[in-house]
Structure 1
Amino acid sequence: MGKNPYEQFPFIIGEEIILRKIMDSDLDNIFEIYNNEKLFQYTPVMFKKNKNTVANMIGHFERDFYKRKCIFLGICLKSEPNSIVGIAEMFDYCNDVNMITIGYRLNEKFWAKGIATKAVNAMTKYLFNDIGINRIQAFVMPENIKSQNVLQRSGFSKEGIIREGYVWKGQGVIDLILYSLLKGDSRK
C-alpha cells in the first residue's frame, strides 16, 4: 500500500508546470477562474459572482486538506510560478481500494495549450510514484468533450457511462462518464 495523500501538502513539478498550494495572494487569479460561468458548465460547482466568497474558499482549501477531504492545487506555468492559471483537485481518497478521484479547471485564456493534459500527467505521476496510489479516476459529463480528450491523451480508459446516477448542483440529475488509470496500465 502507498502513503496517505494527506500526510504532506503536495508541491508537484511537471512538464512546464507547477502544482502548488493556493495562497491568499492568489485571490485575483482564483476569482478570474471562479467568476467565469463557462468554466462551470460541466461541473457540480457553481461559478461565483462575489470576490469575498472566493477569498473564503481559499481558506477552506487548506482546512479541507487537514480534514482529509480534498486537495486543491493551483496550476502555474514554470515561467510564472506566482500566477495561477488553473486548479487541480484530488479528492475521495479510498484507502481500502487505494484510489483517488481527480478534477481540473483552467482559466479560459489558457485553454487549448496542453496545460490541462500536463496538469493531469503531473498529478498521475505524483499519485502513482510518490504516494503509491493504484487507481486514479475522473468523472466527466458526456457533453464535456474537451475534458474527455485531456483524459484520453493522458492514458485514461473510458469505463462506461453512469446513467442518471449523480445530482450536480445547478445541473440536476445527470449522466457521467467514468474514466480510470491504473498504476499497472502501460505508460507512454
Structure 2
Amino acid sequence: MELTKPFPVLETKRLFLREVVPSDAASILTYLSDQEVMEYFGMEPFQSEQDALEEIQWYNEIFSNKTGIRWGITIKGNDAVIGSCGFHDLSKKHVRGEIGAELSKDYWRKGIMTEALSAIIPYGFNHFNLMRIQALIEPPNTASIRLFERIGFSREGLLRKYEYTCGKFDDLYMYSLLKTD
C-alpha cells in the first residue's frame, strides 16, 4: 500500500482526476456550500473559503499519512474541480479501505461519478492491493445506493445509529466490493 509523491493523475474518457490544491478552494466552496450536495455528507454546508481550505488540508494529511487519497474531479478542457472521490481509512493490516465521493449537483445524473469511481476502484485494488473496498451510505441517499449497486457493490447490512453528525445519529448501510467479486 504505497502513497508517494508525485500525486497520481488518473484520466478517463471525459475526466482528469488530480490533486486538489489550495487554489481550488473557490471551486470546492461552490458545491460544498450547497445544502443538497451536503445532505448526506455528514457535515454542515461550508460557509467560507476557509472551510474549503480545511477540507483540502485534510486531503493532504490523509495522503501524507498514507491513510487515504482524494482526487479532485475535473472535466477535460476545464480545470475547475466539480467534485472529489477517493479512499480514506486505508488499512494495510486488514487490506481494506473506505471509498467516498461527492459531486456538484450541476453534474448529477450525467455518468460523471460512475466514470470517476470506475477509474479509482481498479487503482485501489491494484496500487494499494486492497481486498475490500467499503462504502457507508445513509439509507435515504437513494442516488448513491443506485450508483454503488450499479458498479458492483453489495449491501451487507445496516449499521444502526453508527455516526453522530450534524446534531443527529445516522444509520448507515455498509456496502462492499471485493477484489474477487
TM-score by length of 2: 0.91
State the match for 2:32 in structure 1. 34
State the match for 1:174 in structure 2. 170
Query: Which digits, 9 at most, give the CA deviation of each residue in 1:32-65, with x for residues without a partner?
Result: 1111111111122221111223234323421332
Does structure 2 conserve the Cα–Cα contact (< 8 Å) formed by 1:157 and 1:181?
Answer: yes
State the match for 1:48 in structure 2. 46
State the match for 1:126 in structure 2. 123
Kindly indicate whether residue 98 of structure 2 is the aligned counterpart of residue 83 of structure 1: no
User: Which amino acid in structure 2 is aligned with residue 139 of structure 1?
Assistant: L
Bigger mean CA offset, 53-62 vs 136-145? 53-62
Query: Which digits, 9 at most, give the CA deviation of each residue in 1:132-162, with x for residues without a partner?
Result: 2111010000000000111011111111111
Question: What is the alpha-carbon distance in structure 1 between the residues aligned to residue 68 and residue 85 of structure 2?
Answer: 11
Q: Post-superposition shift, 1:123?
A: 1.2
State the match for 1:114 in structure 2. 111
Structure 2: 5+ residue runs without aligned partners?
Answer: none
Query: Which digits, 9 at most, give the CA deviation of each residue in 1:68-122, with x for residues without a partner?
Result: 3432210112242x12111113101111220000110000100110111111111
Does structure 1 conserve the Cα–Cα contact (< 8 Å) formed by 2:67 and 2:91?
Answer: no
State the match for 1:99 in structure 2. 96
Question: What is the alpha-carbon distance in structure 2 between the residues aligned to residue 60 and residue 142 of structure 1?
Answer: 26
User: Which amino acid in structure 1 is aligned with residue 9 of structure 2?
Assistant: F
User: How high is the sequence identity, in percent, across the aligned residues?
Assistant: 28
Partner secondary structure for residue 88 of structure 1: strand
Query: Which digits, 9 at most, give the CA deviation of each residue in 1:5-26, with x for residues without a partner?
Result: x334332223422211001221
* Residues 1:52 and 1:174: Cα distance change in structure 2 (over 3 Å): closer
Question: What is the alpha-carbon distance in structure 2 between the residues aligned to residue 149 and residue 171 of structure 1?
Answer: 27
Question: What is the alpha-carbon distance in structure 1 between the residues aligned to residue 31 and residue 66 of structure 2?
Answer: 24
Does structure 2 conserve the Cα–Cα contact (< 8 Å) formed by 1:162 and 1:175?
Answer: yes
Q: Post-superposition shift, 1:171?
A: 5.0
Kindly indicate whether residue 138 of structure 2 is the aligned counterpart of residue 141 of structure 1: yes
Question: What is the alpha-carbon distance in structure 2 between the residues aligned to residue 42 and residue 57 of structure 1?
Answer: 16
Query: Which digits, 9 at most, give the CA deviation of each residue in 1:164-188, with x for residues without a partner?
Result: 2222x21521210011001111xxx
User: Which amino acid in structure 2 is aligned with residue 184 of structure 1?
Assistant: T
User: Which amino acid in structure 2 is aligned with residue 28 of structure 1?
Assistant: A
* Residues 1:166 and 1:60: Cα distance change in structure 2 (over 3 Å): closer
Question: What is the alpha-carbon distance in structure 1 between the residues aligned to residue 63 and residue 92 of structure 2?
Answer: 16
Measured on the aligned residues, the alpha-carbon RMSD in Å equals 1.7
Partner secondary structure for residue 173 of structure 2: strand
Does structure 2 conserve the Cα–Cα contact (< 8 Å) formed by 1:42 and 1:144?
Answer: yes
Aligned residues: 180
TM-score by length of 1: 0.88
